[in-house]
Structure 1
Amino acid sequence: MPWYTDFFTDLANSFWRGAVPPDMTINEIDFVTDLTDLAPGSRVLDAPCGSGRHSLELARRGFSVTGVDISTEALQHARSTDSDVRWIQADLHDLGRLDLTADLAICMGNSFGYLDHAANQRLLADLAAAAPTLVIDYGCAAEAILPHPPGEIRMTAGGVDMIAVNHYDATQARLLIDFTFTRGERTQQANCVQHVYTAGELTRILHSAGYRHVDRYADTDRTAFGLGSHRLLILARR
């Protein structure tokens, strides 16, 4: 069973909901809408959508949004909001079977790379079939993590204490993360796997998926991506 099928419980999701300030979501959606120049009313596919922070902001701006995620808790949280977003519970492995179409697809919040390599390739092909334009926010690009391996991270957010211990698997180019989430007497220990791609390799995969034009940025201010950039933002167009 893939690691992410039971990873995103209330403890993990509460931490991430608390860790991201509202202005970060606004800046990210400003970046998406400015870069793609889509008018309100356009259809957006958010996959995976998590607890819905990007979907909800897009819907607030008048876009027609479909959010797809596997986490029951995350979608319960998303559905508790007053929005017109269409929420679908599904594994990204099955995205192509949903027969969804949109003007734009987004894969935000460092949620690309959860699948194995073949499935990551298929996911990008499925997204290309669903939408002519794709935006990816990827925090595990090789140029971002390998110059300064993250080691151990401790944070508290959303009333949850989090410890993350990172290991890099060079044989398969994967970041292996051992998480511990604690709130009161409750503790969740879980493992995360994210596949690591260089910007060039991910660009070639996107070309193979059907996207002809691929632009790379280091942040929402549109600075150029390079060695040591902390994140990779991609705009891909068919």
Structure 2
Amino acid sequence: MQRKWFQYWFNSPYYHILYQQRNNAEAEFFIDRLTLFLQPKPDSRTLDIACGKGRHAIYLNKKGFDVTGIDLSEQSIKYARRFENNKLHFLVHDMRKLFYINYFDIALNLFTSFGYFDTEKEHVNALKTFRKCLKADGVLILDYFNTEKIIRNLNTCEVKSLDGIAFNISKHVTDGKIIKKINFEDKGKTYHFEERVQAFSFEDFERMISSAGMVIHQTFGNYELDDFDQNTSDRLILICKKA
């Protein structure tokens, strides 16, 4: 079976070079706001789905919670495992495959770590696995970009120079997907990668989350947890529970 773009791009060392400036302070601020809002019990178990190098999971664990991070990228998990302890664990795992049943109090899917698959059915099936891993009163937090605003302000071409590499980035919308092409040279070799993320609207999420047996309890539009506004919000943050 042909490998999907996310199976090799997220595992590439160049992915980590391009996104090295991801902001830990922003991640910690968001986790602070979320925990204040959710008021989880001290013994709460949290699953960080598509955890990357673990910046949200590590900080949640510092706050005293039992956290498990899963990600498809072996390189990211190898890095995150350096921070493991008896209440913090990381595993290489595909979010579409079942991971424990009725076990977690909170499941997080943050920083647009969704929308990667080809069909809506695959996305609904992933949401169903998120649901199954939660306890009866568990909560799913899904943090996506606000598609409306992203498309309206799409920066079609840019060059980012990092670690001596000029990343040529172009973006366009095709067949309901926001496609980012990343081209560059390093040590005399040319590389081509891409990211393909579904341009899901709030209504799309409503439909898929309902199909997965959950309901949206609350929506926020940024990491300060202000109300969601389709025209102005940077994020679409959904607080979901089992129906």
Q: Same fold (TM over 0.5)?
A: yes
Task: Rate the CA distance shift 1:187–1:173 in 2: closer, same or farther, 3 A.
Answer: same
Are 2:243 and 1:234 equivalent residues in the alignment? Answer: no
For structure 1, which segment, 181-190 or 60-69, has the greater mean C-alpha deviation from structure 2 after superposition?
181-190
1:178 lines up with 2:181 in the alignment: yes
Give the superposition deviation at 1:183: 6.3
Percent identical: 22
Distance across 1 between alignment mates of 2:89 and 2:171: 35
CA distance in 2, matches of 1:123, 1:158: 36
The alpha-carbon deviation at position 162 of structure 1 amounts to 3.5
Q: Is the 8 A contact 1:114 1:193 kept in 2?
A: yes
Partner of 2:139: 133
Task: Measure how far apart 1:161 and its partner are.
Answer: 4.8
Selected match of 2:173 from 143, 168, 177: 168
Q: Which residue of 1 aligns with 2:100?
A: 99
Q: Secondary structure at the match of 1:24?
A: helix
Q: Return the alpha-carbon distance in structure 2 between the equivalents of residues 30 and 130 of structure 1.
A: 23
1:38 equivalent in structure 2: 40
- Are 1:146 and 2:151 matched, yes or no? yes
Q: TM-score, normalised by structure 2?
A: 0.86
1:111 pairs with 2:117: no
Larger Cα-atom Rg: 2
Residue type matched to 1:173 in 2?
A: G
Task: Please name the residue that 1:51 is paired with.
Answer: 53
1:30 corresponds to which letter in structure 2?
A: D
Secondary structure (helix, strand or coil) at the match of 1:91 reads coil
Residue number in structure 2 paired with 1:27? 29
Greater alpha carbon shift after TM alignment, 20-29 vs 182-191: 182-191
Aligned to 2:74: 72
1:202 pairs with 2:202: no
Match for 2:80: what amino acid? A
Q: How far apart are the structure 2 equivalents of 1:181 and 1:87?
A: 31
Secondary structure in 1 matching 2:16: helix
Map of 2:89 onto structure 1: 86
CA change 1:87–1:10 in 2 (3 A) is same
Structure 1 SS opposite 2:115:
coil
Unaligned 5+ segments in structure 1 are: none
Q: Distance in 2 between matches of 1:224 and 1:215?
A: 9
Q: Let me know the Cα RMSD of the aligned residues.
A: 2.2
Match of 1:222 among 222, 225, 237: 225
Matched position secondary structure for 2:43: coil
Aligned length: 232
In the TM superposition, residue 127 of structure 1 has moved relative to its aligned partner by 0.6
Checking the alignment, whether the CA contact within 8 Å between 2:84 and 2:90 is kept in structure 1 is no
Distance across 2 between alignment mates of 1:173 and 1:180: 22
Structure 2, gaps ≥5 residues long? none
* 3-state SS in 2 of match to 1:92: coil
Aligned match of 1:12 in 15, 19, 22? 15
Identify the range of structure 1 (222-231 vs 152-161) with the bigger mean alpha-carbon deviation: 152-161
The CA deviation at 1:228 is 3.5
The structure in which a higher percent of residues are strand is: 2
Instruction: Please report the TM-score for the alignment, with normalisation by the length of structure 1.
Output: 0.88
Q: Label 1:134 to 1:7 Cα distance change in 2 as closer, same or farther (>3 A).
A: same
Give the aligned residue type for 1:15: L
Q: Per-residue deviation at 1:40?
A: 2.7
Shift of 1:160: 5.9
